[in-house]
């Protein structure tokens, strides 16, 4: 449980032992190099990890009919600004540039960020600022 990042209180409660005992045991396990090979594979998530089907660090070519996001593609988001839903288009322009564009109170707002989620968040902040 400790290797699965459960807290000492949770481990002590589940195993019906004192937290001091759990603390002593976890201190003795803290040296990764001292673990048995079976425990090392658990600790490094080798047994519960499925590798991705492609290299996530290399930009892939978009195959015909695929539905994943490629460079130049856009996605639509619904963003709530002052409890009103607004449609925002997010475009992936380059490796680290995302642009979010949408209208708020008749005004076009466009922001740039380094990720899709950051672009959406910056657009929301810009709309809230202009809406006040």
- C-alpha to C-alpha distance for 59 and 94, rounded to whole angstroms: 11
Instruction: Give the range among 17-21, 37-41, 68-72, 113-117 with minimum mean pLDDT.
Output: 68-72
- C-alpha to C-alpha distance for 124 and 131, rounded to whole angstroms: 10
pLDDT for 63 equals: 47
Q: Of all helices (H) and strands (E), which one includes residue 125?
A: helix 116-131
Pair 94, 126: CB distance under 8 Å: no
What is the full DSSP assignment across 63-106?
PTT--S--TT-EEEEEEEETTEEEEEEEEEEETTEEEEEEEETT
Between these two residues, 32 and 65, which has the higher pLDDT value? 32
pLDDT for 65 equals: 46
The answer to pTM > 0.85 is no
Residue spans per domain, the chain: 1-56, 74-131
Q: What's the mean pLDDT in 22-30?
A: 73
Q: What is the pLDDT of residues 76-96, one digit of tens each?
A: 888 888 888 889 999 888 878
pLDDT for 111 equals: 92
Portion of the chain with pLDDT greater than 90, in percent? 13
């Amino acid at each position: 449980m400790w290797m699965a990042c459960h807290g000492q209180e949770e481990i002590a409660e589940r195993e019906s032992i004192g937290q001091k005992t759990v603390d002593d045991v976890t201190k003795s396990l803290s040296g990764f190099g001292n673990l048995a090979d079976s425990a090392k594979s658990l600790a490094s998530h080798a047994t519960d990890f499925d590798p991705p089907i492609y290299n996530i660090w290399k930009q892939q070519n978009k195959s015909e009919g695929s539905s994943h996001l490629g460079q130049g593609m856009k996605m639509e988001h619904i963003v709530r600004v002052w409890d009103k839903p607004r449609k925002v288009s997010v475009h992936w322009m380059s490796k680290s540039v995302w642009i979010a564009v949408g209208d708020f109170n008749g005004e076009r707002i466009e922001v740039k960020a380094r990720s899709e989620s950051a672009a959406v968040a910056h657009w929301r902040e810009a709309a809230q600022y202009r809406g006040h």
